[in-house]
Amino acid sequence: MTLPTDKILRFLRSVHPYDSLAADTLDDLATRFQVMTIGKGDPIYAVGSPMQGLYLLYDGEVEVRDANGSPVSLLGARNSFGERGLVRDGNALTSARAATDSILLMLPRADFDDLMASERAFARFFDRRRNDTRRGSDLATSRVKTFMADTPVTCPPVTDVQQAARLMHDNRISSLCIVDGDRLAGIVTTRDLTGRVLAPGLPCTTRVQDVMTRDPLTLSPSAIGSDVLHAMMEHRIGHIPIVEAGQLVGIVTQTDLTRFQAVSSAELVSAIARSGSADEMARVTAEIPRLLVQLVAGGNRHEVVTRLITDIADTATRRLLHLGEQKLGPPPVPYLWLACGSQGRQEQTGVSDQDNCLILDDAVTPEQMPYFADLARFVSDGLDTCGYYYCPGDMMATNPRWCQPLRVWRQYFQGWIATPDPQAQMLASVMFDLRAIGGDKSLFEGLQKDTLHAASRNSIFVAHMIANSLKHTPPLGLLRGFATIRSGEHRNMIDLKLNGVVPVVDLGRIYALKGELTEVNTRARLQAAEAAGVVSTAGARELVDAYDLIAETRLTHQLARINAGDAADNFMSPTTLSDFERSHLRDAFVVVKTMQSSVGQGRGMLS
């Protein structure tokens, strides 16, 4: 079948990112697409075959499968496939076939590469690597909506100045927004009351409409901090109402700017290190959501954000250990407190429980064990007070099983490796993420090295660990792009932790096990696996790109929750994403699924 160029052109104008191209560029591009008619069930390309170009589905449906033939997604009209993220060394990582009689438009690889090099909007859409434009965190580049006060106090124009002063006093604010119906009519500040009411001796019954600043300068929530700073400096004002679609949605004051800049991980760490009790620390850790907002809004990469957030938990743990020793006396033998889970991997976000354990020197006696039980309880209770809630699975040092001498820990790992039943697999997965937090670190160094060496050489254990790691799969659906939760309070949402970052965390752990890599952080494991030749360079880099996108989507979702006044969580509705975001997130999940398939089939670990 052939399609007239004008028909192709009309179609391209309805599809992003082609609709962003200049008219002459699009006119030329319409002549470069090759029209392909594919019958139902016919292949389009196979895994490992050279990718001829970018495919755009004009009509029909196309099914994409991974390297093992498992369905990944069912694409409809206006969907693209075959872009760089799903190609390795020019060859396809997936296969595609027509699920119905279909018409495809294929842009040859050379033309696709030319557009990637010359058209920024096109490149940003199709290349995840170029999509990372994040910068360092500072006020100047942060969006106003991340630090504005979103519940401004208001009053009508007929309010008298005494009532206005009382409102400001009672709410501990220095300005009032004056609204007339739905319209922002003006603003009045404490300086206005001093200069325009008290100084000229006006009566207390004067209406605020007579002394307010009419039609004040406003900004939108999408403005950035530098817009606020420049406006305040230029106009010599200290309050700027934030208006969206004609509605007052917030206000920014100089106090907001100071407060935003004052929150930093270093400040929180310093405050925790000086705290004298868990209650004092809790007042500091309560600032973590605001710090998360600032770090994410300021454009920090996810591995920077989670590292800074985890540093706070580490400091709180060490401070509690110190306070515990002050209360209980010096420890009878050396010990080491370790964290596992997200704290162990230095990947904490705005939602964290505690996963920890104690390794004791082999010289410990039964009579000395109650000391460490009391220390574990003191620290775990303190962490819970600080917002790091108790582990639902009781993977904590308060459980006697996880507060043992070094020799017992060696027996644990030896037993898990020798008899990899389901419980052993689960426990080994958790404990392979251990990281020393406070105490005698030498208690762990030999254990970690010896365990990795023994585990990597037990093929049966490795096989069981691989099988266990594949239990968490990306939320890929056939019809709508994502497989959402079907029932319960999170119905129609996707779990960005369990089905998002966890599958990559599991892959990173397998690579570390296979290569005897001591890194615990997931991103560091992937990079170390590439350097050690455990996974191919192309595979590792694609997986890192996919992980970055998933992890940053998770943090952006948590940012939105906090800004809306809700607690951060991991459950996101795909409907909150744009077509652009859904397309790239789906591609990231496909990369993860493909790498899972490779590991499951014994591939994906070769350079």
What pLDDT is attached to residue 434? 92
453 in any annotated domain: no
pLDDT of residue 221: 86
Residue 67 has what pLDDT?
A: 66
261 exposure class (CB count in 10 Å sphere: 0-12, 13-18, 19+)? middle
Check whether residue 270 and residue 400 sit in a common domain: yes
The dihedral sign for the CA sequence 446, 447, 451, 454: positive
* Alpha-carbon span 30 to 377, nearest angstrom: 69
* Strand partners for 404: 359
Residues 153 and 219 in one domain: yes
| CA–CA distance, 266 with 268 (Å, rounded to integer) | 5
Place of tokens 């689960």: 426
Name every residue whose Cβ is closer than 8 Å to that of residue 69 and which is 6 or more positions away in sequence: 95
Is residue 583 within 8 Å of 81, Cβ to Cβ? Answer: no
Q: Is there a single domain that holds both residue 243 and residue 293?
A: no
Would 396 be classed as within a structural domain?
yes
Same domain membership, residue 277 and residue 191: no
Question: What per-residue string of b and e applies to 438-467 under the rule 16 or more CB within 10 Å gives b?
Answer: bbbeebbeebbeebbebbbeeeebbebbbe
- What range does the domain containing 585 cover? 470-600
Question: What does the block give as tokens for 123?
Answer: 């490149």
Domain count for the chain, please give it.
4
Compute the half-sphere exposure of residue 196: CA atoms within 13 Å on the CB side of its CA.
17
Mean pLDDT per block of 10 residues along the chain (607 residues) reads 85 80 87 93 88 88 73 71 61 83 91 84 62 47 79 94 94 92 92 92 95 93 81 84 90 78 73 92 92 81 88 93 96 96 92 92 97 98 95 94 96 91 84 91 88 89 88 81 90 94 95 90 92 90 93 93 88 89 90 89 49
pLDDT of 420 reads: 83
Query: Omega into 17 within 30° of 0, i.e. cis?
Result: yes
What tokens were used for 3?
A: 């399609």
Residue 55 sits in a domain whose CATH number is: 2.60.120.10
User: Are residues 494 and 358 part of one domain?
Assistant: no
Pair 115, 122: CB distance under 8 Å: yes
pLDDT given at position 252: 92
DSSP annotation string for 502-523: HHHHHHHHHHHHHHT----SHH
User: How far is 127 from 121, CA to CA, in rounded Å?
Assistant: 10
Residues 431 and 486 in one domain: no
Q: What is the pLDDT of residue 24?
A: 86
**Which neighbouring-strand residues pair with 56?**
80, 105
pLDDT in the model for residue 70: 60
d(CA 161, CA 169): 12
144 with 160, same domain: the answer is yes
What is residue 607's predicted lDDT score, i.e. its pLDDT?
34
> Given 252, 285, 302, which residue is the final one in a domain?
252
Question: CB–CB of 67/47 below 8 Å?
Answer: yes
What is the model's pLDDT at position 85? 43
The reply to whether 479 and 497 lie within a common domain is yes
pLDDT of residue 20: 74
**84 shares its domain with 149:** no
Spatial distance between the Cα atoms of 525 and 515, rounded to a whole number of angstroms: 10
Separation between Cα atoms, residue 12 and residue 15, nearest integer Å: 5
Asked if residues 17 and 111 have their Cβ atoms less than 8 Å apart, the reply is: no
**Residues 402, 288 share a domain:** yes
φ and ψ of 560, to 5 deg? -65, -40
Give the model's pLDDT for residue 86.
54
How far is the C-alpha of 527 from the C-alpha of 508, rounded, in Å?
9
Domain annotation covers residue 548: yes
